[in-house]
Chains A and B, each alone.
Chain A
């Protein structure tokens, strides 16, 4: 993975930067010694590592603003980091960057039940938001699997998806407001407690912008009343295609489950060995369907899903009858990654989305690729929304395997695009999928995205090396292709 070259002019300013930061930050919040910097050398995409030049730990928005202003004046690269749980390398540092670690932005600022929203600093963990309002019967709906650790600021930057997003949406659908520090240190607020903030929807643009447009310091999220109950179904099939068909049948029947997950035979066995959730080991595919709402609604829909599953020829259907049993059904699915981690020294988790009806074709092609690359692959699938997570198992200590795994992963994502899907459903582009962006986008598509980047960050100092295969200079992107002034299409319909 090629990252932008370190700039000597930046490296030369290291000591003077430390001094300037220490003018307003206590020394322990400006980290520059190698052992301490090592703690920040990667995020959850551990295949790529790089120590930053300096780490700073600001306490409030004024400090972030000052840091950004200094870096702007000195033309220093800045990478923001929440909890470092990105699986696409979104928080991977650069050798010549200042890493803004937002861990101290850990205060929830306002809970407003009447307006169903919560305002928080951006370094608060996702789970802490729900915990803060749970005693009063509320929750924050998007719950990424890393929710114990991941921060809301990181969720916004990545537009994190979740198991429940078919029904409750992604992060972007649950946000009301943001406070952002721009590259020059200015502080801008977007939205608030009201809906549909006026003017361009910059809140929507910023969500999922992967740290390329500014530093998020405060977030206002929508909170929801907790549904009365939730029940899960565990449905086993001896044919993965039939499992896919049942997913379609459920949706065609007008049911939007809160969760709809599919697992293949390999992962069923792996998780069963790992955590003994009681999954049927003879199944080729397993569906977990979760329904939530009032008890009468959930019971009614459970019956309908049972009928659909049985008439499609499911091997077995289990319905949770207690909260404990529901959690057990999920246990295996939630342990999928560690379970695979135990079976293989290393693995890559891919994240493409496909139109659901393409699943059989994509699985067949993946099996062929597995033979071709001589690497094992297994699949967990957010079946409701077509978001596929193939896990490619490899051993980085075997010469050439990392490269083969990367190539295999790239081929899978190309396949996703080929069948009408996209490169990433919820993990983000980061560095991991950066060089594949041209598979999905033409140069003119990327140019327009990069022009938007230029509107926020004309010098390209924020999170360089992420998302775009090659960031063009803003001046180049701004050039206009001047026509001769004639309308060249004489047969255009006019009235």
Chain B
């Protein structure tokens, strides 16, 4: 009978994993459950719930460092940071609107957008990623218990540290397959004084990608750049977009007020556009828009569309930024129309019928380089029991790399009891 274990002390966690390792019992590691739709379902075994390790234990704003239990909700972390005018600069997204969270056994409402440990374990970042770095770039140190049931730590509580191997990087994006994190330390940064988003309407993907490249390669330090086709702008809660009836290229500037003002004008000059089709988003509208981008909320069809479009897969494509439009033009031949570009072209997000298979998506990337991840199998397949195990969620690695990956996994979890199969079938 599968049970849910919720240790609250490191000793309990050690004992639990020790037991699991000795008895070859598989543990599915879970925080709040908000990212449960990403990755293969772990075989229906015991659940190791890490939300018992909650609470912020150390935060000194001037040191730019925060330490908390891995199961601390992101909401709690972000609320405290906001009180001190600081933030997680990698802009963790909130997928609670994208995924049908009611089916994922969310422990509590506060945890609906996930835990700090979870966002790090998935190395999930938002629109500011290409400018400020990914979650992994802000992950300074941790305490964990390996799949061997042994406690270990790595990194530290300071922003600059090269003592020993940087295992934080290895934990980030390992989806709980190496160790159970119970305490994490992250770098935090000041919230920018001012934000403005420049919207340019009506460009095609190629023009938009070129414009984003121009902005990203200028000295004007843009902190986000995205492109939405008209299908998606119509779904935005920001009226400037939904009423535009056209595609939009959006570029965000952040920083001290005089600087943002100056750079906004400089960008317009650079683009050679200073009148409509051009608009600016301020304050609330700007933040709503970038949440829609980070949270992928525009990929979720409106309820009235759902009948015709119920089984969408959501894919994340990571690619050389200037090539986004080329990949999309390949994909449009497959009839994919629900997509947008983020990261100045370095990320493409697609919602497409599950009849389009992984191979077709991944073939589109061969020429330019990059990889595709199946981010979600769509809400109707959210339950672990019905999900399709045959699809490679994470792109298969070439053999020398795959072999190394297996060896690294074995060095942490030789019995293969932590989240087996979540990333790759053999891992």
Cα–Cα, bound, A161→B159 (Å): 11
CB atoms of B4 and A256 under 8 A apart:
no
What is the predominant secondary structure among interface residues of chain B facing chain A? mixed
Q: Who on chain B is nearest to A228 by CB?
A: B219
B407 with A195: CB separation less than 8 A: no
Chain A residue contacts of B65, Cβ below 8 A: 355
Check A448–B146 contact: CB distance below 8 A: yes
A73 at the A/B interface (Cβ < 8 Å)?
A: no
* Cβ 8 A contact of A254, one of B4, B191, B400: B191
Could you tell me if A420 and B157 are in contact, using CB atoms closer than 8 angstroms? yes
Q: Would you give the shortest CB distance from A251 to chain B, in whole angstroms?
A: 5
Flag if B167 contacts A196 (CB, 8 Å). no
Q: Pick out which of these stretches binds chain A: B5-13, B91-99, B284-292.
A: B5-13
Q: Is the CB of A161 within 8 A of B164?
A: no
A422 and B16 contact, Cβ closer than 8 Å, known pairs A193-B369, A448-B146 = no
The 8 A CB mask of B128-150 against A (1 = contact, 0 = none) is 01100110110000000010111
Chain A residue nearest to B20 (CB atoms) is: A487
A201 touches B136 (CB 8 A): yes
Interface centre among B3, B164, B369, B424 (most CB of A within 10 A): B164
A442 to B410, CA, bound (A): 21
Task: Say whether A161 contacts B165, CB under 8 Å.
Answer: no
Interface residues of B in 393-413 (CB under 8 A from A): 394-395, 397, 400-401, 404-405, 407-412
Whether B19 and A487, one on each chain, are in contact in the complex, defined by CB atoms closer than 8 angstroms, is yes
Known A199-B405, A200-B408, A357-B62; contact A493-B6, beta-carbon cutoff 8 A: yes
Q: Do the beta carbons of B163 and A440 come within 8 Å of each other?
A: yes
Taking a contact as CB atoms under 8 Å apart, the answer to whether A170 and B169 are in contact is no
Contact flags (1/0) for A199-240 with B, using CB distance below 8 Å? Answer: 111111101110000000000000001111000000000000
For residues 157 through 196 of chain A, which have their beta carbon under 8 Å from a beta carbon of chain B? 158-159, 161, 165-166, 169-170, 172-173, 182, 186-190, 192-196
B310 located at the interface, meaning its Cβ lies under 8 Å from any Cβ of chain A in the complex: no
B159 touches A166 (CB 8 A): yes
B170 lies within 8 A of chain A by Cβ:
yes
Checking B6, B158, B168, B320 against A354 with a beta-carbon cut-off of 8 angstroms, the contacting residue is B158
CB pair B410–A425 under 8 Å, yes or no, is no
A494 beta carbon closer than 8 Å to chain B? yes
Contact status A485-B22, CB under 8 Å: yes
Contacts of A203 in B (CB 8 A): 169
Instruction: Give the residue among B166, B170, B408 with the most A Cβ atoms within 10 A.
Output: B166
Whether A198 contacts B162 by the Cβ 8 Å rule is: no
Please tell me if the beta carbons of A353 and B160 are within 8 angstroms of each other in the complex: yes
Task: Verify if B216 is at the interface (C-beta below 8 Å from A).
Answer: yes
Contact indicator B63/A487 (Cβ below 8 Å): no
Q: Are B19 and A114 in contact (CB under 8 A)?
A: no
**Residues in A neighbouring B169, C-beta threshold 8 A:** 172, 201, 203-205, 207
Q: Does B336 contact A (CB under 8 A)?
A: no
Contact A425 B158 (CB under 8 A): yes
A36 to chain B, nearest CB (A): 32
- The stretch among A56-64, A379-387, A404-412 that forms the contact with chain B is A379-387
CB nearest to A484 among chain B residues: B22
Question: With A188-B400, A225-B219 as given contacts, are A159 and B173 in contact (CB-CB < 8 Å)?
Answer: no
Docked Cα-Cα span, A301 to B190, in Å, equals: 14
Asked whether any CB of chain B lies closer than 8 Å to the CB of A33, the reply is no
Q: For chain B residues 207-221, which have a beta carbon within 8 Å of chain A? A: 213, 216-221
How far in angstroms is the closest Cβ of chain B from A417? 9
Residue from the list A193, A448, A480 in contact with B152, Cβ < 8 A: A448
Contact B164 A429 (CB under 8 A): yes
Stretch of B74-82, B227-235, B242-250, B255-263 that contacts chain A: B255-263
Q: Inside 8 A of B411's CB, which chain A residues have their CB?
A: 448, 451-452, 454-455
- Chain A interface size band reads 35 or more
As a 0/1 sequence over residues 434 to 450 of chain A, the CB contacts with chain B under 8 angstroms (1 = contact) are: 00010011101111110
Write the nearest CB–CB distance from A476 to chain B, whole angstroms. 13
Centre residue among A187, A357, A455 by max chain B CB count within 10 A:
A455
Give residues 368-401 of B contacting A (CB, 8 Å). Answer: 369-371, 373, 394-395, 397, 400-401
A486 contacts chain B at the CB level, 8 A cutoff: yes
Residue in contact with A296 in the complex, picked from B11, B167, B259, CB distance below 8 Å: B259
Verify B412–A451 contact, CB threshold 8 A.
yes
Cβ contact within 8 Å between A114 and B217: yes
Which chain A residue has the least Cβ–Cβ distance from B347? A195
Task: Determine if A445 and B152 form an interchain contact, defined as CB atoms under 8 angstroms apart.
Answer: yes
Partner of B394, one of A199, A256, A454: A199
Within 8 Å CB of A449, what residues of B? Answer: 154, 164-165, 167
B interface footprint on A414-426 (CB within 8 Å = 1, 0 otherwise): 0000001111111
A161: chain B residues at CB < 8 Å are 160, 162
Tell me whether A324 is interfacial, beta carbon within 8 Å.
Answer: no
A338 beta carbon closer than 8 Å to chain B: no
Residues of A close to B18: CB separation below 8 A: 481, 483, 488
Output the least CB separation between B111 and chain A (Å).
15
Besides A385-B160, A456-B404, 8 more A-B contacts (Cβ < 8 Å) are: A137-B219, A173-B133, A192-B370, A252-B61, A448-B154, A449-B167, A452-B165, A480-B21
- Name 5 interchain pairs, CB-CB below 8 A, sorted by A: A195-B134, A297-B256, A355-B157, A386-B158, A483-B22
User: What residues make up the interface of A, taking CB atoms closer than 8 Å to B?
Assistant: 112-116, 137-138, 158-159, 161, 165-166, 169-170, 172-173, 182, 186-190, 192-205, 207-209, 225-228, 248, 251-252, 254-256, 293-294, 296-297, 300-301, 353-357, 382, 385-387, 420-429, 433, 437, 440-442, 444-449, 451-456, 467, 478, 480-489, 492-495
